[in-house]
Copies of this chain bind each other. A is one copy, B any other.
Amino acid sequence: MHAEQPVRPGRAKRLPRAVRERQIMDAAVDVFSRLGFHAASMDEISEVAGISKPMLYAYLGSKEELFATCIRREATRMMEAIANGVEAEEPPDVQLWSGLRAFFGFVGENRASWQVLHRQASSQGGPFAEELADMRGRAISLVAALLVHSSDFTNVPRAGDKEAESLAAALVGAGESLADWWLDNPREPAGVVAARLMNLVWMGFGDLVAGNVWHPPSRRATAE
């Protein structure tokens, strides 16, 4: 026995700052997502990260700063993932479809990120709610813009700003809620869940009950 366990209780290997910061962030997202902001302790985060507490403070500042940084990072990753999935040239329904697929794809592959973003951040009264509400607001605005743009294509009288924004809020909420539901029922692939929401918000129950469904126009994206 060489006593060669990779987990040294004593001292951690020496690493450049940037790498350590990444590790810490990953650990923080993990712990925050499992326990929530308050229940998570800096001690546990440092342990998961494989370093000691003072390093946290040296590198990422206070607990609140750390949490806010986590939110910013994960939210940015998600927004980018969605933006990359959507092309502005497409017609409205296809844009919506692409966005939904990108969204559920991201959530499926980044559950911890999603937990931090959605469940934790929105419920803490601190400066995080602000941070998160900001991101969420941007998402809503984006969807709202898409809606307004869509109605410009057609003969609709006008889609008021507030009206579009509230519809976008409803849509974003539906996505969030369905994502949560999906995490509790992870049997189905992302594409199926996305298609379901697409049908709900594009066709509506009225059509669904009547047996009409929406299909993606081309044959280039079906399931995960």
Residues in A lying within 8 Å of B, measured CB to CB: 34-36, 38-39, 92-93, 96, 119-120, 122-125, 140, 147, 150-151, 153-157, 162-163, 165-167, 169-178, 180-182, 185, 187-188, 193, 196-197, 200-211, 214
**Contact present for A170 and B178 (CB under 8 Å):** yes
* Bound Cα distance from A120 to B203, whole angstroms: 33
Residue of B nearest to A188 (CB): B162
Residue of B nearest to A201 (CB): B205
Number of copies: 2
**Contact present for B166 and A196 (CB under 8 Å):** yes
**Contact present for A200 and B170 (CB under 8 Å):** yes
Q: Which of B151, B182, B203, B205 contacts A96 (CB 8 A)?
A: B205
Which residues from chain B contact A196 at a C-beta distance below 8 Å?
A: 163, 166-167, 170
* Bound Cα distance from A79 to B165, whole angstroms: 27
**Contact present for B162 and A185 (CB under 8 Å):** yes
* Bound Cα distance from A193 to B169, whole angstroms: 11
* Bound Cα distance from A193 to B167, whole angstroms: 9
**Contact present for A209 and B154 (CB under 8 Å):** yes
A sample of 17 inter-chain contacts (CB < 8 A) reads A34-B125, A39-B124, A92-B209, A122-B123, A123-B124, A150-B209, A156-B209, A165-B185, A169-B181, A170-B197, A171-B174, A173-B174, A202-B206, A203-B206, A204-B204, A204-B206, A204-B207
Which residues from chain B contact A35 at a C-beta distance below 8 Å?
A: 125
| Most B CB within 10 A of own CB, among A119, A162, A166, A185 | A166
**Contact present for B174 and A177 (CB under 8 Å):** yes
Which residues from chain B contact A181 at a C-beta distance below 8 Å?
A: 140, 165-166, 169-170, 173
